[in-house]
Amino acid sequence: MKTFLLSAFAKAASSPGHHRGRIVTALVTFMWGTLAWAMLAAPVSAQERCRFLCAPSLNVEPTVTFANLFNRHRVHTSDGTTETATREPELEIILALDIPTRLPRLGFTVEAIWTPFGSTSVNPFTGQTASDLGVSDIRDNPVELEFEANLTWLRSEQTAGWVSSHFDIVDKFSPAERPQDTSTYTHKLNVELDTAVSVFNWLPEPHWLRHVEIEGSLDYVATGLPRTGDVFPSGEVLLDDVSAWSFSLVFVIPVAPVP
């Protein structure tokens, strides 16, 4: 299986196309292949030792995110007015596949993120506006993907099972945001500090609620966000950098395997 993954990575890296595009394609191929390997190579029982990637687990994570955390950017609109971005909470639904490793402070996570109630005035794929369609707004709910390396600095064993915390390095694959982007989806570098509290840790084993967590996530998106001076087709001009900081309140609900 390892030989197959390396072969697929080499094939993707040597395929036709722009150099950066080939590298991104190769990395994504390798990450998805590694995920498949993790599931196929997982031990059949908890007593068996895994080689490196261990048995994955699946969580559903309803999340409330507050964007524009430390500043709210201003936009000069086409009608000559200046508007300031809002800081309204946004609901997200996340499916998270956690892949632990034999190294107790290293793990990997693959997330699919869906925003059920997002809205926009222009459909980014068809170009139709809300007014063209006779509606007040268009539902803006694309799926985003995140590939994370999790570095744990505080293990739950150190706090009698109550608190854990980890630092994440994230490849965020989400809709393009800058007017000069040449792809509908772009890769963005994201770093996170996540701290989870096991609020039902006081319950006796094997109660399922013991494994439910409430997590606070401080996020910083380092690349791919609109910057001062960006001009959009609508005529809007960005007067400040879009805030890279956000904070999320995450409810972690285990799905499989059921504790």
Nearest to 118 by CA among 98, 137, 145: 137
Q: Which pLDDT score, from 0 to 100, does residue 258 have? A: 66
Instruction: Say if residue 57's pLDDT is above 90.
Output: yes
Mean pLDDT of 32-56: 62
pLDDT tens, residue by residue, 5-36? 455 545 554 555 444 444 445 555 555 555 55
| Residues 14, 118 within the same domain | no
pLDDT at 222 over 90: yes
Quick check: is 72 in a domain? yes
The CATH number of the domain holding residue 100 is 2.40.160
User: Residue 56 — φ and ψ, nearest 5°?
Assistant: -75, 165
Are residues 139 and 60 part of one domain? yes
31 and 139 both lie in a single domain: no
Residue 42 above 80 pLDDT?
no
What's the mean pLDDT in 65-84?
93
Q: Indicate whether 227 and 103 sit together in one domain.
A: yes
Give the least confident one: 42-46, 70-74, 115-119, 133-137. Answer: 42-46
Radius of gyration of the chain (CA): 21
- Top pLDDT among 203 and 27 is at 203
Same domain, 212 and 95: yes
Total domains in the fold of the chain: 2
Domain shared by 192 and 242, yes or no: yes
Is 46 inside any structural domain?
no
In a domain, 47, yes or no: no
How far, in Å, CA of 23 to CA of 69, rounded?
33
Is residue 14 located within the same domain as residue 112? no
Q: Are residues 4 and 77 in the same domain?
A: no
Q: Does 149 lie in the same domain as 77?
A: yes
Domain hosting residue 30, numbered range? 1-41
Q: Which of 4-8, 93-97, 192-196, 198-202 has the lowest mean pLDDT?
A: 4-8
